[in-house]
Structure 1
Amino acid sequence: MKLICAKNELLKSVNISLKAVSSKTTMPILECILIDASAAEITFTSNDMELGIETKVKGIIEEKGIAALDAKLFSDIIRKLPDSDVTIQTDANLNTTITCEKAKFTIPGKSGDDFAYLPVIERTEGIEISQFTLKEVIRQTIFSIAANENNKLMTGELFEIKDNMLKVVSLDGHRIAIRKIELKDNYPARKVVVPGKTLNEISKILSGEVEDQVKIFFTENHIVFEFDDTVVVSRLIEGEYFRIDQMLSSDYETKVKINKREFLECIDRATLFVKEGDKKPIIITIDDTGMQLNINSQMGSMNEEIDIDKEGKDIMIGFNPKFLIDALKVIDDEEISIYLVNPKAPCFIKNEEESYIYLILPVNFNTAR
């Protein structure tokens, strides 16, 4: 095999491939990127058996061939080469020479025979959305997935298609994030749970341009994302997702309209008194004079008032400030509406169309101040 590629093109493809390279495996072949130049195109493939990526590489094939190279070593070499054309050549024993200007590296290659290729998936009934939209939807929901794997379903996000709507849901037991996207067409109803790791990695690869599209296909066990020169295949998380509709009440006793930026900055200031891992709540009092925010800790205390537009009853309620910050950071609206029932019930931050809904559970607090 002999290939010539521009360094920047190689690096782009290597960086994409690295996202599906296994770091903890008993199969050394899964620590490799498979370089396939056996046909008319150069493709890089990586697969950790949960997530698989295949991406096309721009370059010239002088001699056809196929070889698997240690992903980390290959990536480190390419990254440190001069910005010039790179030649990759293998001999009969798959020893691979990488040459760029006066730099020359030789590393051992492996046969591609043992490599775990991506599963062949029939791509029918796919949906199509812009890369910008998918990247935004992931950004606006991914923070609500559970970090630990005690409940596997909580480490993923629900993708539900109904009529011409895509609904994406994440939750971790303390909060729920929901985004709804209108699709161009009507599609068959479908519900799948996509691993958070997959969505995180895809979000890093997507260009995020409005004009660039991504096609998404589903099978019983896999989801496929196809965009630019890249195909990402991921296993789905098995199981019945939580029935969140039962948690989404439209009843409220208090409704507050507030400037999002002012609210966010105020909570951010309050967290100066909260150490990492500390569970100090921020106490919010809402009455006819406005909203008062108070935090008390061993490090000190803070009180601040914000003007609001209030409907309904007065209320005093406590929240984990981080959960409020996470939700507010991803809302693009200048003014937001918060709906509250009582100090023990979740609050909802949502817009009129309910294209986004953030549910946050309150925390108990001691009213003695």
Structure 2
Amino acid sequence: MIPYGRQEIDAEDIQAVVEVLKSPLITQGPKVEAFEQALASYCHAQHAVAVSSATAALHLACLALDVGAGDLVWTVPNTFVASANAARYCGAAVDFVDIDATTGNLCVQALAEKIANTQEQGKPLPKALIPVHFAGASCNMKAIHALCAPLNIRIIEDASHAIGGKYEGEPVGCCRYSDMTVFSFHPVKIITTAEGGAITTNSGVLAERLAMLRSHGITKDKARMQNNNAPQWYYEQHELGYNYRLSDLQAVLGLSQLSKIDRFIQQRNHLAERYSQALKGSPIGALQVPAHSYSSYHLFVIQVPAEQREPLFHRLRGANIGVWVHYIPVHTQPDYQALGFNHGDFPVSETYYQQALTLPLFTTLAESQQDFIIAELLNATELKATGLK
């Protein structure tokens, strides 16, 4: 089976992990800090805080902004459930902003209308907004920031798909138009730490709090302790935190992977272009990358008529092509329906979902494998390609 995504691990990655295994520290050690520094530098951000997963990163980002009971957080329906769940972990309520059908990302016009309608009705605005950079292409962050900043709506970019991408020529994660940016290092993502995540920010205050919250809310920094005469072994818990730490084993893998990221992104863009060229002239649609964005192409999503999607899914799976679907709209999940959301609430996201199919895309996907995928796809839908390049 050709999977829809797969990590690329080479001998250099393996050797880096083996060296840490032979070292005295395999949990929290020097490689975590080195990875954080390298990640911040790559993203042109002031700080990076590495954690155990992107879900943990989203949760901590909400906590760092003091999101809690009585607060409201907006995100998009077209995302993995973690983008919305993170706010609920903090006791906050969640609502959604519909997407742009051409990109799969948050629709700026829908956001503007939702803000205006909320104000007209005298209802509270969200404390935070979580735009999701779907499939690797950045949302229009400048426009989003222009709407949110005057209203003191904080912004957490969910860039789980988008490390290595760019927005208006700057790296995703630089936080020019947000408080924080969250990344995922799950194996199917652009780079991997086996499992892990990170938050970038330009705020030293937020970075310090994130680092403390990821480790039980504990500090060993004597300058921050209430006990001014603390012995060497002493530590203090200053708030309720979590064990969301990344290990040195994972961090050194991340360091090694980060050194290859530009090659990974280039190859993903090359393969995406081959898909795009092959599908030209056919009725199969594909998500568009906005002019302001350079995509890291975590996913390549096509759109087919809704009635053809499931038969096509099974036919391609039968040919050992591991197509998948990203994503079931969050508001249609039973747990969210129990909160009062209904089918039809966010029609663009729902229509997108009914037509979406994710094709395999990863750095080690051979062009011969991709040619086979394209041929099977076009044969299955009785279409003709205009030729591969």
TM-score by length of 1: 0.26
Higher relative helix content: 2
Higher relative strand content: 1
Q: Which has the higher contact order (CA 8 A, sep 6+)?
A: 2
Greater C-alpha Rg: 1
